Amino acid sequence: MILPNYEVIEKIAESPHATVFKARHKKEPDRLLALKILKASNLSAYKQAQVAQKIEQLKVLNDPLLITPISYGVADGACYLIQDYFDGVPINRLPQASSRRSIITLHDFLTIACRLVRALDTVRA
């Protein structure tokens, strides 16, 4: 897939549903972005419209716990999403990233869980 306005820096994650790259927009080279390319190519027009509608709903949320999408599009038959890059640790790798022998304290677990619940409540509302 070629997105002419974006420069891909590196691949940062992959799942069964998407591949995520660190990227930047050529007009704003100092702003790091996450470019998420959905693997389900050939989404029906209906599914593409559903995804676009959900993205538009998320774009209006203004919450420090959320990284909201900047844009969504389709190129070369594949759907992609652009959002600000966040240099963090995926939650499934958090135990390995902890300096305490792969153990998360109860306090840290509850703090993360409460923030996730607040973020999900914001998105759901």
Written as six digits, the tokens of 21 are: 């790259």
Residues 110, 83, single domain; the answer is no
Residues 71, 82, single domain; the answer is yes
Residues 22, 4, single domain; the answer is yes
Q: Domain range holding 102?
A: 89-125
Burial (CB < 10 A; 0-12, 13-18, 19+), residue 119, is: middle
Cα–Cα distance, 118 to 114 (Å, whole number) = 6
- Under DSSP, the state recorded for 16 is S
- For the chain, the domain total comes to 2
* pLDDT one-digit tens code per residue, 53-85: 888 888 888 788 888 898 888 887 788 999 999
Residues 23, 81, single domain; the answer is yes
pLDDT for position 102: 65
pLDDT tens for each residue of the chain, 125 residues long: 678 889 999 999 898 888 999 999 999 999 999 999 988 766 788 888 888 888 888 888 878 888 889 888 888 778 899 999 988 877 777 766 655 556 778 998 899 899 999 989 988 87
